[in-house]
Copies of this chain bind each other. A is one copy, B any other.
Amino acid sequence: MCERTQILGVDRDGGFADYVVVPAAVVWRNDRAKLPPEIACLQEPFGNAVFATSTQDLAGRAIAVLGCGPVGLFTIAIARAFGAGRLLASDHVPFRMELAKKLGADAVVNVDEVDDVPAWFVEQNEGVGLGVVFEMSGALRAIQDAFGIVRHGGNVVLFGIPARPATIDIAESLIFKNLTVSAVNGREIWETWYTTRWLLEHGVVDLRPLITAELPLDSYEEAFALLETGEACKIVLRPNGATP
């Protein structure tokens, strides 16, 4: 909530610099015996999903996740672990749609293949709107869809960052539906991190299916090329000849 937040890697040098100075007060120690490095290095983006879901009561509710990039997929895994009722998702990349199902989505729609995306969600949910919609893509079309997918009195979580302003029919889309919209960003220091560690160390959420490749750090160019094919999710790079 700090109005003067500086993000490592955005507002000052981050993981792509040769050397980084990090304030001691923001260093988080991991217990290697409980959290292997290939999982520990996923905590930063996973924490975004932990924070986004922490604003909502998920147990027993019908949940939609729009956008199956890494944080969307993390959200699916958390929602499943926390007792989501029906869990539906959308994307347009078949590789990601398969990962969504593997992580617990009951059904996933390809938004390029249906005309009326909200209607698909409502139909899959026995004709009623969904309780919570997580918008994780930042696509303007998905933001519009979110308000059509959610039920009256439901919750929309906005996480994906759109490139341009959106035009929203506030009367019909929000007020007459009595919606609550939570726009989330970042994490809570340190509440989110305690939950994150707990979920990973105790296996409540298993992130391994999202690691689609592990390579030596020197092969970083190969890693980026893999990501550009759309046939990858998270790639672990191991420095100095480290092995799993």
Contact = CB atoms under 8 A, between A and B. Distances in A.
9 contacts: A3-B152, A60-B82, A83-B199, A158-B175, A167-B168, A175-B184, A177-B185, A178-B183, A179-B183
A22 interface: no
A136 to B, nearest CB: 12
A2 interface: yes
A181 B57 CA distance: 17
Interface of A: 1-3, 55, 57-60, 78, 81-86, 143, 151-153, 158-159, 161-163, 165-171, 174-186, 195, 198-199, 202, 204
Contacts of A182: 179-181
A155 to B, nearest CB: 10
Contact of A166 (B81, B167, B185): B167
Contacts of A180: 55, 180-183
B161 A143 contact: no
A85 B204 contact: yes
A97 B35 CA distance: 30
Contact of A178 (B163, B170, B186, B198): B186
A175 B51 CA distance: 13
A183 B184 contact: no
Contacts of A179: 182-183
- The list of the 4 closest CB pairs from A to B, nearest first, reads A174-B183, A1-B153, A82-B83, A181-B181
Contact of A170 (B57, B162, B171, B174): B162
Contacts of A186: 178
